[in-house]
A = this chain, B = another copy of it.
Amino acid sequence: MVQKLFDMLEWHNVHTPLFLSTWLLAIILCKIFFHHNHKIASKFPESALLIVLGLIVGFIVDQIWLLDVYMHPDLFFLYLLPPIALDAGYFLPNSAFFSNFWTIILYAVAGTIFNILTIGGTIWMFESWYDHHLGILDIMLFSTLISAVDPVAVLSVFEEIHVNQLLYICVFGESLLNDAVTIVLYHSFIGMVKIGPANIMITDFLMAFLSFLMVSMGGVLIGLVFVCITAIMTKLSVVVPVVQPLLCLVLPFLSYLIAESVHLSGILAIVTCGLLMKPYIAGNLNEQSLTTVRYFLKTITSSSEAIIFVFLGMSTFSKRHIWDILFTTITVIACILWRFVGVYLFTWIANKKRVSKIGYLDQFIMGYGGLRGAICYGLVMTLDEKIIPTKDMLVTTTVVVIVITVFVQGTTIKPLVKLLGVKTQEPAAKSLAQQIVDHSRDDMMTGIEAIVGIRGSNYWRHSITEFNNKYIQPVLMRKPRTRGRKLLEQYTTLTGEEQKRKLLQSFRV
């Protein structure tokens, strides 16, 4: 009878959203469980635990349903990566990033190319020993994708250990920007593999270089355009504030998609957008909208990261794995070795120009924190088996490299930081007095530079700030935030408790 009752009703296709939301909830539940378990949570980074979870689920799925689970590259590149990149750009401390800009660029561009060449060279040296035949271009392609230090893995570890800001910004900034380098070179090598090694001319290398410039500059440019669009639209949307959070999330996502669709760097576009839209949307949004944007961004990012790591764990049980022990061993050693050499080499170069030098301890942690992660996995999964017949073996090796770096290095980095006594983070918020002193010092330095007749970093910072205040802010912002206003805001947006305390204090004085 119940069957007949049911037959009178209709069936919607609810399986897809049902499956997805159940899965998401299961992952969230595990996250909550990990954090409740202090013993585990203090020893292992969350990323490692999520990979273990993926391993267990993957094993069960593999044994019971005989299913082969792997992450579709589109899922990763179109839906999971963009929020993470936006979050990274949005919460990147602007001033620290720009004051270490050239150092970061050195690590991200020169360092990554150095790694690609050295790792590729090392693998190629032992080419005759492997079970599988790999051409030089295949090896370079693989060494490109395996060289990408992963922002997701790095962030999840470095946020937990609270290192000092200089170290944090260098590692994190590098991992953000080297993605662009890796992805561009990866696509160039794919192109070369398609053409075939015999037909490659010297002009193709020139092409690759031009392509790299175009892709990165283009990405940044699209990001800049979308900063303006986001600012103007949020400025106009003050009459319907309820749409503001969506604007601040969808517009950067659109910058990523548009950049990708015209074959420019989506990551650079969305990071630029997140990095530079921050001051404008803070001025245009009401308090609730702003809290919603920030908090929801954190929420989706932490879910995306969790999903990626679980997928990584699950894919370890894939039936397609093909092992080549020697190849894998050499790759792992080369990755770790050349990471350290690269960091020491380029820090030596950077330190020549830097005022505040980067110490040996920080360099060691920087090298040790070169975790591989989802980007490598995503890139290796996008390989076409018709072009690269050894794809399955390369996937296996990539998963091994990721698991080893995330587990061994990710788990031991925290005790290592303590053991070596690496300087940990300074208190985040500057006091009001400190800020006023800093501002005055900057102004004074600008004055001294003007008198002496040099145009140093203070001159440029001053000019850019002036230009922004005079011409850009009035167009893009509802209530332009001058320096005095910012200080005032900071004072008034203290939490209720603090405000009460301060008010009471001011009455006592």
Contact = CB atoms under 8 A, between A and B. Distances in A.
A348 to B, nearest CB: 34
A9 B240 CA distance: 41
Nearest to A78: B17
Given A32-B243, A191-B7, A257 B78 contact: no
Interface string A22-38: 10110011011001100
Nearest to A31: B240
B257 A210 contact: no
Contacts of A202: none
Nearest to A251: B25
A394 to B, nearest CB: 17
Contacts of A31: 240, 243
A506 to B, nearest CB: 11
A460 interface: no
A507 interface: yes
A244 B31 CA distance: 12
A8 interface: yes
Contacts of A257: 14, 17-18, 21
B237 A299 contact: no
Interface string A227-246: 00000010011011011111
A13 B242 CA distance: 31
Given A6-B263, A207-B5, A245-B299, A17 B492 contact: no
A292 interface: yes
A135 B493 CA distance: 67
Contact of A250 (B15, B24, B77): B24
A8 B500 contact: no
A17 B8 CA distance: 36
Nearest to A492: B496
A213 B403 CA distance: 53
Given A8-B187, A9-B211, A289-B295, 9 more contacts: A8-B191, A8-B207, A8-B211, A9-B187, A28-B237, A28-B243, A32-B233, A292-B292, A496-B496
